[in-house]
């Protein structure tokens, strides 16, 4: 499969405490100068989209500097965020160079969000941001994680999808991949039949945007990850494999090794 986008986990830091989280944990993160070199390489590799995530991407202090550079080099920017740090003022500031904002929304109920680790008023905050984004030139998408604890609350998220200009709603089946998602597997895991039944129920409704199902296979096949220290990672059979690291990137002459490097990273 040819891939022309990356999911850049720019930081492991987060301001929520999701108990089903499978973010890539690193004790440190690259400097702005190091990340700038990685971005230079992505530009030379002709990547067309970067999804900036974490942790919480907005906690990385130089995020907007990198996004601006990506934008001016014809790369689309997608921020994946829980919305806690996003404000109307910031949206105005980044509108020029932000193509997409993808919100994480798994439920509206405060008690459910608290059990998930997102905290109270998570849903309320997302709705307020969706209201503001109605008149902005940014495409909005939603990601939801389907787990044992919120499966009965997904339908209420469907109503939000229909009430606002949502471009795409992606429903991830909970997977036990890293960190807390492994520790808390028994609390959140659902079987395939339960997941598929939910998808069928949602598709019976008249949804205003495409519904994207995301099981284990889709997660593994569709994502090339960059972690906070600059490792390029693919996930195969629920195991992360480092394809390349920052030290390798610094030594490579992209112009001379373009096709070989794209093939190594899975872009070809």
- Band the pLDDT of 56: cuts 50, 70, 90: very high
Q: With beta carbons less than 8 A apart as the criterion, state whether 228 and 31 touch.
A: no
> In 3D, which of 144, 205, 147 has the Cα closest to residue 180?
147
Cis status of the peptide bond prior to 64, with omega within 30 of 0: no
Q: What is the pLDDT of residue 149?
A: 97
Half-sphere exposure of 261 (CA within 13 A, CB side): 20
What CA–CA distance (Å, rounded) separates 268 from 266? 5
Q: Is the pLDDT of residue 57 over 60?
A: yes
189 burial level (CB within 10 Å; 0-12, 13-18, 19+):
middle
Q: Long-range contacts for 236-243 (Cβ within 8 Å, ≥24 apart)?
A: 238/175, 238/176, 238/177, 240/24, 240/178
Q: Is the pLDDT of residue 163 over 70?
A: yes
Q: What is the mean pLDDT of the chain?
A: 91
Q: Is the pLDDT of residue 267 over 70?
A: no
What CA–CA distance (Å, rounded) separates 193 from 124? 31
Based on its alpha-carbon atoms, the radius of gyration of the chain, rounded to whole angstroms, reads: 18
Neighbouring CB atoms inside 10 A of 202's CB total: 18
- Band the pLDDT of 2: cuts 50, 70, 90: very low
Q: Is the pLDDT of residue 258 over 90?
A: no
What CA–CA distance (Å, rounded) separates 17 from 33? 29
Pairing of strands 76-81, 166-173: unpaired
Q: With beta carbons less than 8 A apart as the criterion, state whether 224 and 267 touch.
A: yes
Q: What is the pLDDT of residue 1?
A: 39
Q: What is the pTM of this model?
A: 0.93
Share of the chain above pLDDT 70, in %: 93
Distances 85 to 89, 117, 164, 165 between C-alpha atoms, Å = 11, 17, 21, 21
Extract the tokens encoding 73: 């080099």
Q: With beta carbons less than 8 A apart as the criterion, state whether 23 and 240 touch.
A: no
Write the pLDDT tens digit of every residue in 196-235. 999 999 989 889 999 999 987 776 666 789 999 999 988 8
Q: Is the pLDDT of residue 257 over 70?
A: no
Lowest mean pLDDT among 94-108, 121-135, 222-236, 245-259: 245-259
> In 3D, which of 97, 61, 93 has the Cα closest to residue 76?
97
Collapsing DSSP states into helix, strand and coil, what is residue 39? helix
Query: What backbone torsions phi and psi does residue 176 show, to the nearest 5 degrees?
Result: -100, 95
Q: Write down all domains in the chain, each with its CATH number in brackets.
A: 5-265 (3.20.20.70)
Q: Where are the alpha helices (DSSP H) in 104-241?
A: 110-116, 122-133, 154-163, 179-183, 185-188, 192-204, 216-222
């Amino acid at each position: 499969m040819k891939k022309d986008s990356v999911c850049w986990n720019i930081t492991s830091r987060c301001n929520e405490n999701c108990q089903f989280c499978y973010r890539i944990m690193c004790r440190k993160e690259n400097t702005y100068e190091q990340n700038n070199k990685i971005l230079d390489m992505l530009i030379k590799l002709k990547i067309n989209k970067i999804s900036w995530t974490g942790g919480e991407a907005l906690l990385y202090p130089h995020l907007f500097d990198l996004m601006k550079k990506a934008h001016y080099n014809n790369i689309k920017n997608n921020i994946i965020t829980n919305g806690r740090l996003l404000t109307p003022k910031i949206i105005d500031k980044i509108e020029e160079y932000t193509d997409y904002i993808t919100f994480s929304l798994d439920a509206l109920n405060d008690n459910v969000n608290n059990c998930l680790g997102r905290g109270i008023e998570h849903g309320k905050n997302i709705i307020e941001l969706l209201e503001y984004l109605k008149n902005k030139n940014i495409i909005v998408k939603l990601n939801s994680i389907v787990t044992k604890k919120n499966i009965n609350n997904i339908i209420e998220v469907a109503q939000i999808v229909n009430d606002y200009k949502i471009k795409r709603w992606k429903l991830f089946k909970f997977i036990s991949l890293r960190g807390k998602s492994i520790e808390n597997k028994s609390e959140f895991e659902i079987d395939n039949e339960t997941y598929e039944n939910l998808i069928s129920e949602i598709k019976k409704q008249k949804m205003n945007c495409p519904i994207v199902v995301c099981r284990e296979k889709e997660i593994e096949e569709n994502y090339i990850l960059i972690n906070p220290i600059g490792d390029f990672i693919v996930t195969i059979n629920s195991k992360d494999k480092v394809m390349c690291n920052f030290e390798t990137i610094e030594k490579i002459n992209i112009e001379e090794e373009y096709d070989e490097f794209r093939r190594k990273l899975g872009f070809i």
